[in-house]
């Protein structure tokens, strides 16, 4: 057999020079988008974030690949760098799959309102009720503690008002939830594992705003009155095409429920466990003014995993307590304002629901991020 013809030293020199030029140009187009701060959500050049650390390791691999003159491998690694550059940007949404850096934080304060004239019964059929209004102010926060390994969350309703028109109303603090998340894998797809602890800070059997409303107010709780634990796994990734950036995230949890301290009707008994899920994707156009906006589409819900009851929830019409199920579809528009602040507006609708009000929800939010 004839041996392959070896390139001359002059040809090798030209190939190496051309390769180095292409490699430098590719890196110059990608890395400044992560470190130059030209976007509101760009990673700061001085912060050694997980994504930036991965970028640096990939750059080192590019250098070694250049020494071996492997153009095909270099193109693959450059594509991986471009994906990580997108993951390095903040999305101003709940993002448990991405563990925050120590000292960084995200806060979101959201107002949510519904007006319902029907209620999904225990069999999923809507029944007519007096008009029911709900107003809530919810907090969601994330704080990075240990790089990659630990992030803490706090969320819940810091204010909740339930109103059955012309019958009664209750107002108070809702239930809160603490969470801890740890990164299992970082790369083009991130995987984290976490656990939530539900705290019964709301009132499961509140009093009315006047003595005459007490009989109705117990059907309008501000909390479910029990501790619960929800192990959760989160998976997320990001990519880009043309001038569009996109992220996808999915979370799945198993809520282990316990016995409420009180219920409106009868004696307390264990709330049945639930499977809780969320799937969402968001896109942003990386061009001038449009890069300030993220458009989010979201599916979420919770399903009772034990035998269903034939009766109504013993905690009224507020969507809390045993037997509550729903699947929801939501859309949200988020806008980066300046200096870490953002605004949001969204709409959620439910289907396949049990023991919750049958009405869409409107929500408005203000967020702030510390990088």
Q: pLDDT tens digits for 128-159?
A: 988 999 999 999 999 999 998 999 999 999 99
Tell me which residues of the chain have a pLDDT lower than 70: 1-94, 264-267, 308-315
Let me know whether 118 and 242 are in one domain.
yes
- How confident is the model at residue 311, as a pLDDT? 54
Let me know whether 59 and 155 are in one domain.
no
φ and ψ at residue 125, rounded to 5 degrees: -85, 135
Let me know whether 329 and 191 are in one domain.
yes
- How confident is the model at residue 23, as a pLDDT? 38
Let me know whether 64 and 144 are in one domain.
no
- Residue 143 makes CB contacts below 8 A (sequence gap 6+) with 100, 104, 105, 151, 152, 153
Q: Which of 59, 87, 115 is the last residue of a domain?
A: 87
Number of structural domains found in the chain: 2
In the block, tokens 């976007």 appear at 39
Helix (H) or strand (E) holding 324: none
Residues of the domain holding 148: 105-370
Q: How far is CA 337 from the centre of its chain?
A: 20
Residue among 258, 242, 333 at smallest CA distance from 292: 333
In the block, tokens 């890395």 appear at 31
Let me know whether 192 and 50 are in one domain.
no
**Interval 203-239: pLDDT, tens:** 988 887 777 787 888 889 999 999 999 999 999 998 8
**Angle, helices 50-67/9-35, rounded to nearest 10 degrees:** 170
Q: Assess contact for 184 and 232: CB atoms under 8 A.
A: no
Residue 91, classed as helix, strand or coil, is coil
The number of CA neighbours under 13 Å toward the Cβ of 256 is 7
> Cα–Cα distance between 294 and 151 in angstroms, integer?
24
Q: Is residue 1 part of a domain?
A: no
> Cα–Cα distance between 317 and 264 in angstroms, integer?
11
Residue among 95, 223, 105 at smallest CA distance from 160: 223
- How confident is the model at residue 94, as a pLDDT? 64
> Cα–Cα distance between 367 and 240 in angstroms, integer?
25
DSSP 171: E
- How confident is the model at residue 276, as a pLDDT? 97
Q: DSSP assignment of 20-31, as one string? A: HHHHHHHHHHHH
Let me know whether 71 and 110 are in one domain.
no
Q: Is residue 95 part of a domain?
A: no
Let me know whether 75 and 128 are in one domain.
no
> Cα–Cα distance between 93 and 246 in angstroms, integer?
13
């Amino acid at each position: 057999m004839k041996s392959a013809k070896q390139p001359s030293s002059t040809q090798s020199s030209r190939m190496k020079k051309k390769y180095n030029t292409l490699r430098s140009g590719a890196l110059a187009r990608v890395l400044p988008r992560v470190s130059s701060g030209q976007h509101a959500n760009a990673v700061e050049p001085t912060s050694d974030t997980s994504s930036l650390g991965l970028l640096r390791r990939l750059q080192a691999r590019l250098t070694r690949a250049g020494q071996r003159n492997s153009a095909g491998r270099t193109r693959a690694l450059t594509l991986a760098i471009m994906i990580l550059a997108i993951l390095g940007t903040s999305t101003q949404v709940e993002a448990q799959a991405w563990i925050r850096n120590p000292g960084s934080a995200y806060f979101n304060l959201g107002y949510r309102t519904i007006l319902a004239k029907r209620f999904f019964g225990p069999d999923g059929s809507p029944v007519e009720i007096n008009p029911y209004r709900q107003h809530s102010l919810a907090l969601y926060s994330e704080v990075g503690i240990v790089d990659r390994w630990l992030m803490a969350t706090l969320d819940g309703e810091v204010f909740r008002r339930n109103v059955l028109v012309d019958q009664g109303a209750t107002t108070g603090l809702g239930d809160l939830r603490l969470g801890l998340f740890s990164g299992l894998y970082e790369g083009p797809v991130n995987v984290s594992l976490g656990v939530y602890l539900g705290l019964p800070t709301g009132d499961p059997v509140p009093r009315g705003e006047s003595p005459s409303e007490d009989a109705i107010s117990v059907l309008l709780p501000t909390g479910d009155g029990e501790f619960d634990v929800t192990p959760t796994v989160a998976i997320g990734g990001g990519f880009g095409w043309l001038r569009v950036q996109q992220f996808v995230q999915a979370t799945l949890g198993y809520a282990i429920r316990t016995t409420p301290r009180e219920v409106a009707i009868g004696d307390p008994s264990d709330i049945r466990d639930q499977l809780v899920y969320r799937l969402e994707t968001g896109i942003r156009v990386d061009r001038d003014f449009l890069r300030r906006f993220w458009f989010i589409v979201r599916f979420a819900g919770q399903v009772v995993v034990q035998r269903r009851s034939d009766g109504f929830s013993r905690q009224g019409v507020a969507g809390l307590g045993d037997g509550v199920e729903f699947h929801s579809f939501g859309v949200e528009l988020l806008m980066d304002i300046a200096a870490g602040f953002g605004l949001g507006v969204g709409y959620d609708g439910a289907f396949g629901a049990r023991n919750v009000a049958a009405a869409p929800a409107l929500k408005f939010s203000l967020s702030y991020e510390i990088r």
